[in-house]
Structure 1
Amino acid sequence: MKRLWLVPLLWASAAHGATDAAADYQQHCQSCHGVNRVGSSGPALLPESLGRIKPAEIRQVIEHGRPASQMAAFAPLLTAQQIDALVSFLQQPPATPATWNEQDIRSSHRQLADLSQLPSTPQHHADPLNLFVVVESGDHHITILDGDRFEVLDRFASHFAVHGGPKFSPDGRFVYFASRDGWISLYDLHNLKLIAEVRAGLNTRNLAVSKDGRWVLVGNYLPGNLVVLDARDLSLVKTLPTHSRVSAVYTAPPRNSFIVALKDVNEVWELSYAAPTPNFEPRRIQAQDVLDDFSFSPDYRQLLATSRKAGGGQVIDLDSGKVVTDIALSGMPHLGSGTYWQRNGQWVFATPNISKGQISVLDLKTWKLIKEIPTLGPGFFMRSHSHSRYVWSDVFFAPGNDAIHLIDKQTLEIAHTLRPMPGKTAAHVEFTQDGRYLLLSIWDREGALIVYDSQTLQEVKRLPMNKPSGKYNVGNKIEFAEGTSH
């Protein structure tokens, strides 16, 4: 009790530290990262944007800067105590809540090239439908790769933390990127040139492109809303408040609509783009739980979504808008990274699990569990191809995450376990359009893309890369091919 006098002093000290950190931010950071930390030439420094980055990593960047970027090293200017205070300051919400409205979106729009002045045919030697778009998250770059020769055609800087998977125009000419801090970029794969950019939000989940190639839909965590853009130049068409963070947005081609999962309300939204001038008013489908991520049945009539209340998954019929069934799956299935294929003439669906070392295989007609395949640890990505006898699945969250399993799609047994680079994380596979080869990522700053022959499983080529977190084949994506993500 005698030490109660210390409490006001500790509070005063903490408040003083926060004040000093705010002053240090204003002096050293604000010119690049913006007033109220919403970003400018540098990325946003908000809790929503930094949520996946550990405090030690934030401290490392402040101290030593970022290679090949404008981020300087501040260790010579700031003490260790000042840097620690900045790290803590950046992980707290700003004193004034960050906002981003339609005028902000319009003001951020940048037209970088005039499409009318560019050739409409590919200006390179590669097959335009067998290109790979590679996201190198180690230094925030995009690599365009020839999928026949496995040679780099272009490499350019991206905005901070591109995620959610690039999406393509229906003809494969254009690719659209979403960064974590809300920047949407349009790139011309025929001319290897950035066309336009716009900032659609402050923290973005992902985007989708309509089947007719006219619209881009962006789902935001902050502010909680949907943003419709014109796919030709990324100009703003409309914003739709959701009063919720957006978990995911996808296009459902047979339905001529976007499907949206919301993180804070028990609803799925369907936005039709079938009309000549759609109004994008949502059809609200009641769910029995908040849905984190989802996958579709092959005909896009049913939605399979993660549901904690169901203890696994919830199946929603999109035609009737009714919940068909719950699926009891232990752990935390990652349905958005699942994949499907035909086994004995019937469609099956398999999902990795981010909290348990198992893969769950379901019958897509009855939604009954066929088998749980034990793995070396929790996984994140599964990929296959109609011409491959295997589905490839990582063990991303396991201590030994340098392993990757090859599961026989007919026997549902692990046929092979590879360790491409011992000691380094192996994850995320994507096949060439014809399925003859596949590319596997080594998630490390001194990582690589490893090219395998999909039949012999022999390594064909190794391309050094800076943490290639994902790669996406144009043909597979625009055809919504079996075995790849949508």
Structure 2
Amino acid sequence: MLYPAAAVLLNLLFFFLSPVVGEETYNKYCASCHHPQKIGITAPPLLPMTLSKYTDEELTKIIKNGLSSTQMPSFGNLKDEEIKSIIRFLREDIPINWSIKEIRSSLTLNNNIQKKVLNIKNIKNITFVVERGHNKIWIMENEDILDAFDFSNVHGGIKYTLDGKNFYIPSRDGWIGYYKINNKKEGYYVGKIRACINLRNISLSKNGNYLIVSCLLPQTLEILNAKTLEPIKEIQLDGKISAIYELYKSDKAIFTFRDKPIIGILNTKDLSINYIKAEEPIEDFFIDPFDKFLIGTSRKDKKLVVYELEKFKLVFEDKMDSMPHLFSAAFWYKNGKFYFATPHIGKPYISIWQMYDWKFIKNVEIGSPGFFVKTHPSTDYLWVDNGSDAVVLINKNDFSEKFMTIVKGKKFTHTEFNGNGNIAYLSIYDNDGYLILYDTKKLQEIKRYPASYPVGKYNFVNKERSFYPSLFGEEIFKEKCWGCHHQTQEAFGPSFKYIANNRTESQIIAQILDPKNSYKLLGYKRNSMPAFNFNEYEIESIVNYIKSFREDKNDR
């Protein structure tokens, strides 16, 4: 027979330790928003992997007090024992079932579509802005907000088709929203689907038919119809995927694993996969702007690796002190060379690298650790955040730096540019924050919008690698061509607009590389143009830039 005190103690231990008690309390108060399997419905997932950054004390505070500026209410009526049992249940792994059946049933189309008049002047200046505090997505063109709609928990890059008509917005908890623009005149939110429980990133096939979703939970690639969002195929993965990125020159998408030294190549026509062995796991990577190389890194090995994509051969590696955040890398061209810069996790510097004749250039101190580096041909600077109230401006000529305070005492994060590059969008990350627009030449504020925790901005041009050769071409034009040519008006030589609309690509290349022999074929009586000894990347860049002035007879 147990003494009364011992019986009480056993009952309390049973209450604290019993998963059944925690599950029952969770289902009573939490499951209607967070799902019985903790995978989230109208509220985020509450799984061990998504809650690992929170202590039990922090979770207790959230449950008791709620979260301001969200739909999370206060449960101050719960006893301490009940809250502890809920947290214990949240820390437990439970079987999760999320297959094509569940994906299909999650498809939610907007049956009450109200099209918003947009009257877009130039699709290249369209920028999607995430206002996390109010769970809003803004659609902007230059200084104007054209539309806004509700969407929460956005994660990673927004993807879009290159005709500027279809935009896809991913969330951390696996939802993908779909926004459509018709003929640059009107736009509307089509609907959403939940592809998985924990999403890594999304990609689009070259032909625009497939939306490819990389998932950490479950470990799959989900293939959706890009026009209807209907699930087409589920591919099981044996490992934790890092990310997947499409190639724009061929029908392939490349993915890697955090925990396995393997590179996957997805054929985006027949959806088959070929695997290639790597030297080490690749946790973070990007594909270079010309679709030739994979640049990757891993936390364990602390080195940068470069694989040539045609034969998947390792062509360069270099040791470093810490893991770079390659997804946030910035690219530019200067004096015949191509460069990229990347921040480093937990380190107060960015590193500068030369591409194609691969080499490390230098580290540039930024004061404290940052997360994003951005640039554009229309600015002389790399724009870097460092967790403070200032943007760090690093000159692309000599890598000198200066600090420009945006809003004193409030954290600045993440720069984005419009397509033309004359406007920089700067986020003041605060509940009472701002989206601030800066003139990139005068470095002066143009306009500001109140915003609650504005985070990512995604411009139509600057987030798509297929546009990067043209951006490099703009920099080459300023260095090599500006003395004789103008983009849209005749100068000493014909305008790029005239060239784009009256010459074939082969004629353009011949006139650049061998004008002494090509001028007669173009109808000129004499040649006054010097030959340029461009490499393959320079010629592709300047030709892409010239072609960007080609008039579209079927303009949307």
Report if aligned partners of 1:169, 1:478 keep a CA contact under 8 Å in 2.
Answer: no
Partner of 1:446: 432
Residues 1:408 and 2:395 aligned together: yes
Partner of 2:118: 124
Residues 1:424 and 2:424 aligned together: no
Deviation at 1:153, TM superposition (A): 2.4
Partner of 2:32: 31
Higher relative helix content = 2
Report if aligned partners of 1:168, 1:174 keep a CA contact under 8 Å in 2.
Answer: yes
Deviation at 1:26, TM superposition (A): 1.2
C-alpha distance in 2, partners of 1:56/1:113? 43
* SS of residue paired to 1:138: helix
Partner of 1:476: 462
Q: Percent identity?
A: 33
Partner of 1:93: 92
For 2:148, which of 155, 162, 173 is the aligned residue? Answer: 155
* SS of residue paired to 1:72: coil
Partner of 1:298: 289
Deviates more, 1:381-390 or 1:331-340: 331-340
Deviation string 1:345-390 (CA, Å, 9 cap, x unpaired) is 1111211111211111112123221111122012111110122111
C-alpha distance in 1, partners of 2:86/2:366? 41
Deviation at 1:311, TM superposition (A): 2.2
Partner of 2:104: 106
Residues 1:324 and 2:315 aligned together: yes
* SS of residue paired to 1:142: strand
C-alpha distance in 2, partners of 1:141/1:67? 16
State the AA in 2 paired with 1:154: D
Deviation at 1:253, TM superposition (A): 0.7
Q: How does 1:188-337 map to 2 (within 5 A)?
A: 188-190=180-182, 191-273=186-268, 278-337=269-328
For 1:176, which of 160, 168, 181 is the aligned residue? Answer: 168
For 1:381, which of 368, 372, 378 is the aligned residue? Answer: 372
- Change over 3 Å in CA distance of 1:436–1:254 after alignment to 2: same
Rg: which structure is higher?
2
Deviation at 1:297, TM superposition (A): 2.2
Report if aligned partners of 1:383, 1:429 keep a CA contact under 8 Å in 2.
Answer: yes
- Change over 3 Å in CA distance of 1:327–1:269 after alignment to 2: same
Report if aligned partners of 2:245, 2:287 keep a CA contact under 8 Å in 1.
Answer: no
Considering Cα pairs closer than 8 Å and 6+ residues apart, tell me whether 1 or 2 has the greater RCO.
Answer: 1
Report if aligned partners of 1:381, 1:393 keep a CA contact under 8 Å in 2.
Answer: yes
TM-score by length of 2: 0.77
Deviation at 1:59, TM superposition (A): 4.0
Unaligned 5+ runs, structure 1: none
Deviation string 1:50-80 (CA, Å, 9 cap, x unpaired) is 34556565445433445565433222x2134
Partner of 2:23: 22
Deviation at 1:14, TM superposition (A): 7.0
Deviation at 1:255, TM superposition (A): 2.7
Deviation at 1:233, TM superposition (A): 1.1
CA RMSD of superposed structures (Å): 2.6
Partner of 1:356: 347
Deviation string 1:382-428 (CA, Å, 9 cap, x unpaired) is 110122111111113xxxx22221111111221x2112123322111
C-alpha distance in 1, partners of 2:192/2:362? 45
C-alpha distance in 2, partners of 1:74/1:441? 32
Deviation at 1:264, TM superposition (A): 2.1
TM-score by length of 1: 0.88
- Change over 3 Å in CA distance of 1:269–1:342 after alignment to 2: same
C-alpha distance in 2, partners of 1:237/1:114? 26
Deviation string 1:175-225 (CA, Å, 9 cap, x unpaired) is 111111111111114443221321111110110122322111100010011
C-alpha distance in 1, partners of 2:277/2:311? 11
Partner of 2:72: 71
Deviates more, 1:218-227 or 1:103-112: 103-112
Runs of 4+ deviating beyond 6 Å: none
